[in-house]
């Protein structure tokens, strides 16, 4: 597997999880069932939840593909040139802890896909199952990554990693859902002036803020646990990659802050929604750059120089 495909595999996995989290966030936090018909109109709910289902389906289809690539990547590294591929694949999948975790992860990804593909926005039980499966699958990166390598601290590193992935999903997936709902709404109403943003963005801000706090806390905890020393930030490949990630995270936070403090109050102005659409799209773009660098980070040993 080429280094590019290797990194894209990680990005697909994180991207798939974030996308599924976007759908879950839409259903339970942005357009919660008890608000439909009260503070949220039926037509708005129909559009946003329709988008949430499509987003979930996109993430759901991506995840088994990403998990398959993860297995192929691991198998390629595990290869014994004196044994057959089938022999090595069987040993990796059925004989190692990594393989057991992968089998559960792959099964969960298939269930996530099937659940989202068969979901109707009115069926609450399906959404509960989708949320639980997405949460369960979000522990996969931690169980097969650096979080599991912190001997004696797994009780905090693995839940911390799960919270990190979930919070990233709520933030970036949620924002993606806001933008796609807006796009779908404008397309449906055929009116460029008709916007959902003044309704959706304030709700999203209330969700995004705690998600960002959780992201920063769990990210700091992970960096502190994985870096052998502060100087490792500049002396190891892991540290240098982490600096790149932090720089990109700073850019995303800055855009998010400007969206929140500068553009949100202007959403009822003529140019406010357009400014928000552009700025939020930029935030999502940089967030995916963060996911790409995270994919590199998960493949880099914290000890190697």
Partner 1 sequence: MRKKLAVLALVTMVAAGATAASTSNLDMIHFGLAKSIPEADSSVPSPEAVQLWFTQIPQDNSVGIRLINPAGDLLETGPIMQDSEDQKRYSVQAKNKLTAGTYMIAWRGIGDDGHVVRDEFSFTVDAH
By three-state DSSP, how is residue 158 classified? helix
> Which of 72, 103, 114, 156 forms a contact with partner 1 (CB under 8 A)?
156
Which range of residues in 31-39, 60-68, 252-260, 296-304 is near partner 1 by CB under 8 A?
296-304
Angle between helical axes of 85-95 and 97-117 (0-180°, round to 10): 80
The CA distance from 241 to 68, in Å, is 26
> Residue 32 Cβ, how far from partner 1 at the closest point, in Å?
13
Choose between 119 and 214: whose C-beta lies nearer to partner 1.
214
> Residue 90 Cβ, how far from partner 1 at the closest point, in Å?
10
When asked if residue 230 is in the footprint of partner 1 (CB under 8 A), the reply is no
> Residue 290 Cβ, how far from partner 1 at the closest point, in Å?
21
When asked if residue 3 is in the footprint of partner 1 (CB under 8 A), the reply is no
When asked if residue 239 is in the footprint of partner 1 (CB under 8 A), the reply is no
The CA distance from 256 to 282, in Å, is 10
When asked if residue 135 is in the footprint of partner 1 (CB under 8 A), the reply is no
Per-residue string for binding with partner 1, 189-228, x by CB under 8 A?
---------------------x--xx--xx-xx--xxx-x
Which range of residues in 34-42, 93-101, 115-123, 272-280 is near partner 1 by CB under 8 A?
93-101
Choose between 34 and 187: whose C-beta lies nearer to partner 1.
34
- 232-241 long-range CB contacts below 8 Å, 24 or more apart? 232/302, 235/305, 236/302, 236/303, 236/304, 236/305, 237/300, 237/301, 237/304, 237/305, 238/297, 238/300, 238/301, 238/302, 238/303, 238/304, 239/302, 241/293, 241/296, 241/297, 241/300
> Within 13 Å, how many C-alpha atoms sit on residue 305's CB side?
3
When asked if residue 105 is in the footprint of partner 1 (CB under 8 A), the reply is no
Choose between 228 and 265: whose C-beta lies nearer to partner 1.
228
When asked if residue 97 is in the footprint of partner 1 (CB under 8 A), the reply is yes
Residue with tokens 């892991």: 238
Which range of residues in 18-26, 91-99, 125-133, 183-191 is near partner 1 by CB under 8 A?
91-99
Rg of the chain over all Cα atoms, to the nearest angstrom: 20
> Residue 204 Cβ, how far from partner 1 at the closest point, in Å?
16
CB atoms under 10 Å from CB of 125, counted, come to 7
| Number of separate helices (H) and strands (E) present in the chain | 12, 0
> Residue 1 Cβ, how far from partner 1 at the closest point, in Å?
12
Which tokens is 43 given?
């037509």
Residues forming contacts to partner 1 in the complex (CB under 8 A) are: 74, 77-78, 80, 82, 91, 95-98, 101, 143-153, 156, 160, 210, 213-214, 217-218, 220-221, 224-226, 228, 301-304
């Amino acid at each position: 597997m080429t280094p590019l495909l290797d990194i894209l595999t990680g990005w697909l996995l994180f991207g798939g999880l974030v996308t599924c989290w976007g759908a879950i966030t839409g259903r339970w936090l942005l357009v919660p069932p008890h608000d439909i018909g009260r503070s949220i109109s039926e037509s708005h709910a129909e559009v946003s939840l329709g988008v949430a289902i499509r987003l979930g389906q996109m993430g759901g289809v991506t995840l088994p593909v990403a998990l398959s690539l993860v297995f192929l990547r691991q198998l390629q590294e595990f290869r014994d040139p004196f044994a057959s591929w089938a022999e090595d694949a069987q040993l990796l999948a059925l004989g190692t802890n990594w393989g057991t975790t992968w089998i559960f992860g792959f099964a969960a990804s298939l269930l996530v896909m099937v659940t989202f593909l068969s979901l109707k926005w009115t069926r609450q039980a399906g959404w509960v199952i989708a949320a639980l499966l997405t949460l369960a699958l979000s522990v996969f990166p931690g169980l097969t990554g650096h979080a599991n390598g912190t001997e004696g601290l797994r009780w905090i590193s693995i839940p911390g990693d799960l919270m990190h992935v979930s919070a990233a999903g709520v933030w970036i997936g949620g924002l993606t859902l806001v933008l796609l709902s807006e796009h779908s709404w404008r397309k449906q109403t055929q009116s460029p002036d008709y916007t959902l943003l003044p309704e959706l963005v304030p709700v999203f801000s209330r969700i995004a803020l705690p998600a960002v706090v959780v992201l920063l806390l769990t990210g700091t905890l992970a960096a502190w646990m994985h870096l052998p020393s502060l100087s490792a930030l500049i002396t190891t490949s892991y540290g240098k990659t982490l600096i790149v990630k932090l720089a990109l995270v700073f850019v995303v936070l800055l855009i998010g802050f400007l969206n929140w403090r500068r553009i949100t109050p202007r959403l009822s102005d003529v140019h406010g929604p357009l400014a928000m659409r552009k700025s939020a799209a930029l935030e999502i773009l940089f967030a995916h750059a963060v996911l790409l660098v995270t994919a590199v980070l998960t493949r880099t040993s914290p000890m190697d120089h």
